[in-house]
Amino acid sequence: KVITTHIPQNLKWEKKYINKEIKNNFSYIYQAIKDRYEIVILPESTFPLPLNLYPNLIKKLQKLSKKIVIVTGALNYENKNFYNSTYVFQNGKFKIYNKHILVPFGEYIPISCCKKFLNKIFFDGAEDYIASDNFASYNIKNIKFLNAICYEATIEKLYQEKGKYIIAMSNNAWFRNSIEPTLQQLLIEYYSLKYNKYVYHSRNL
């Protein structure tokens, strides 16, 4: 089951709203289990926190993954770095797959001399995300899926990777009321047809 959510960007990262988001996420998972789906896919950063630092949430998701495979977006914090990541929970275990291609000026500042200054002005002093070295892939029920987080799903190089299926997740709320969501969808459709891929796209609109 591919989940679509509708969380405004101005609320998504608000501390007072996070508990509601988490509660909603578990509601989607419970409903997918009730409807007898084998997999549930949630959007990018749908858990708006470094999930690996919250053992109680991890344990709860691990327990549920014995009933359904859970693919969800969240932050990952390790070695003093933040990553935009996909978490895959299945059979009581989980693995983390970090984003490879980051959005310039959105997820990192490509101008080293002004990085701290620009992050302070535009991102309240937040640190840049760190990119992984390569595109990620994982197996679900012995089927290979390529991992795509937001911007990555519009990159042709991803579609040239081996594998027929792609799980994409994005938070489109930050470019709501623009042409970007339409452009994103058109590029996904174009490249999936060109390279004969199947894309399962979970979005926050």
- Residues known to be catalytic: 44, 99, 150
Structure tokens at 66: 């014995």
Smallest CA-to-CA distance from 3 within 30, 19, 57 is with: 30
Rounded to whole angstroms, the Cα distance separating 106 from 11 reads 18
Q: E strands of the chain, at which residues?
A: 4-5, 39-41, 47-50, 69-78, 81-90, 93-98, 137-140, 143-149, 165-171, 198-204
Rounded to whole angstroms, the Cα distance separating 146 from 160 reads 11
CB atoms within 10 A of CB 84: 26
Cα diameter, the chain: 52
Output the CA–CA distances (angstroms, integers) from residue 189 to 137, 184, 186, in the order listed: 20, 9, 5
